[in-house]
Amino acid sequence: MDKNLLTIDSVRNAVQSRDTTAFSIAEAHYSRIQQEDEQIGAYLTLCKDRALEQADRMDRMAAEGKVLPPLGGVPVAIKDVMSTRGVRTTAGSKILDNYIPPYDCTAVARLEAAGAVVLGKTNCDEFAMGSSNENSAYRPVRNPRDLTRVPGGSSGGSAAAVAADMAVCSLGSDTGGSIRQPASFCGVVGLMPTYGRVSRYGLIAFASSLDHIGPLTRTVRDAATVLRTIAGRDPMDSTSADVPVPDYVAEIEKPVRGLKLGVAKEYFGEGLNDEVRQAVELAVDRLKGLGCEVVPVSLPHTSYAIPAYYLIATAEASSNLARYDGVRYGHRAGGVKSLSEMYRRTRDEGFGAEVKRRIMLGTYALSAGYYDAYYLKAQKVRTLLAQDFEDAFRNVDAIVTPTSPTAAFRLGEKSDDPLAMYLADIYTVTADLAGIPGISIPCGETKERLPIGLQILGRHFDEATILRVAHAYEQE
């Protein structure tokens, strides 16, 4: 038994039957981290004492003949934008370098309540702002499939940890594609639930109307298991939806024959790499072979998604990041002579270049005289994008697209061109703006053996259908 290649069910079953122990599985993962992570950079902070204590608890339950919870003994990694009680939480930023939260993020608490063993916190673009994981204040993450390439962002550490067998599954956050694009680049499964399906309590905010928490896993079944665990209404988050949570694991076994899958021409236009196009078209043909009906659909406002997203997201970031002022927690500049100097120097020393860029863009978009021209207009475009999806879903059950226009690009390739970097999210931001769920699953490789991702988008709160389609394709 290779303890670093197990799925959620195989970990739980092995611990339950006492074929092995949760403690030894956790130790195997820490050994793997020690061997591999110096060159990959997926983790920022490990919490070994906390992990082994939980593993020991699961082993005692198994020894006493008690039924283990759904994630009993499963090693998980948590993106470092989610609060973890007593464990350093930086959001990939120097401004939170010494921050230790007094409470757990709801999603983390639910994972641990289900028996998960939290190994540590994963590296990410600073405040989740980036598409390559090169914006971390600590170090970039490298793609386990090719160390000269990026793992995607901003949840690059979470994707790399799973791809490099340093965690069975992980949690990431998705604001404009930050779960699905790294999943595509690293060759794993990445699921972004509907906005409001998973509580955001304890998630360090980037853009509050766009942020989602979701899993990165090896298999679709594992993604369904994690979502079933973390989904549901939370009184601590007023935006979490009071909508029944299906048994996603049971739902994925339902046949897909007869489902209508939309293919939008707007996602297959200029800028799409030929190898990516061929892999996605082949995947669509395989779904057709499974009995799905492929239907052309149109999402006519797609071309406006990137500018709308980068106005709304930066405006919300400008507001959210105003709290980092050196007064209450986090970094505070020393040797200052006035309050205004402390604010300026604290934020100048604590924030990186990309975060500063987005704060300035957002502050400008919200300023007097420009609010109507930029922010308000972007919100109107957002409504049109959401309407496009509503119209399409009247005729189809899900929409299939490429996850990213290219496979993983090289480290430093887009660092000096923010616009080129922003366009890496062209196929993912639309779902965040509309608040619908999406999943990326591996659907092939380039000639250079780099993974390619297939994205499946669904109706609000219909994660069951996209998981079902993804599982059927994965099994095929």
Q: What number of other Cβ atoms are within 10 A of residue 159's Cβ?
A: 37
pLDDT at 308 exceeding the cut of 90:
yes
Average pLDDT score over residue span 346-374: 95
- Residues of the chain with pLDDT > 70: what percent? 100
C-alpha 299/C-alpha 391 separation (Å) is 9
* Long-range residue pairs from 238-246, CB within 8 A, at least 24 positions apart, any chain: 239/195, 239/196, 239/200, 239/208, 240/196, 240/197, 240/198, 240/199, 240/200, 240/201, 241/194, 241/196, 241/197, 241/461, 243/196, 243/197, 243/461, 245/197, 246/463, 246/464
For residue 418, the model assigns a pLDDT of 83
- Does some domain include residue 175? yes
For residue 1, the model assigns a pLDDT of 84
Average pLDDT score over residue span 366-392: 95
For residue 352, the model assigns a pLDDT of 97
Domain range for 143 is 8-251
**Please, are residues 262 and 297 in contact by the beta-carbon 8 Å criterion?**
yes
- Does some domain include residue 212? yes
pLDDT at 22 exceeding the cut of 90:
yes
For residue 162, the model assigns a pLDDT of 98
CATH number assigned to the domain comprising residue 153: 3.90.1300.10
For residue 419, the model assigns a pLDDT of 82
pLDDT at 27 exceeding the cut of 90:
yes
Banded pLDDT at 241 (limits 50, 70, 90): very high
pLDDT in tens, 54-70: 999 999 999 999 999 99
- Does some domain include residue 272? no
pLDDT in tens, 439-470: 999 999 999 999 999 999 999 999 999 999 99
For residue 94, the model assigns a pLDDT of 98
**Please, are residues 89 and 99 in contact by the beta-carbon 8 Å criterion?**
yes
Residue 184 burial (10 A CB sphere; 0-12, 13-18, 19+): buried
Average pLDDT score over residue span 390-394: 98
- Does some domain include residue 135? yes
pLDDT at 421 exceeding the cut of 90:
no
Count of domains observed in the chain: 1
Catalytic residues, which ones? Answer: 79, 154, 178
- Does some domain include residue 209? yes
Q: Which two tokens stand for residue 129?
A: 């702002």
Banded pLDDT at 36 (limits 50, 70, 90): very high
**Please, are residues 15 and 72 in contact by the beta-carbon 8 Å criterion?**
yes
Query: Residue 304: what residue type?
Result: Y
Banded pLDDT at 423 (limits 50, 70, 90): confident
Q: Mean of the per-residue pLDDT values for the chain?
A: 97
Q: What counts of helices (H) and strands (E) characterise the chain?
A: 16, 11
Average pLDDT score over residue span 267-274: 94
- Does some domain include residue 444? no
Q: What number of other Cβ atoms are within 10 A of residue 102's Cβ?
A: 7
pLDDT at 150 exceeding the cut of 90:
yes
For residue 20, the model assigns a pLDDT of 98
Average pLDDT score over residue span 181-188: 98
Specify the DSSP element, H or E, that contains 33: helix 22-40
- Does some domain include residue 428? no
CA 375 from chain centre, in angstroms, equals 25
Instruction: Please tell me whether residue 224 adopts helix, strand or coil conformation.
Output: helix
User: Greater confidence, 409 or 423?
Assistant: 409
For residue 133, the model assigns a pLDDT of 97
- Does some domain include residue 316? no
For residue 474, the model assigns a pLDDT of 98
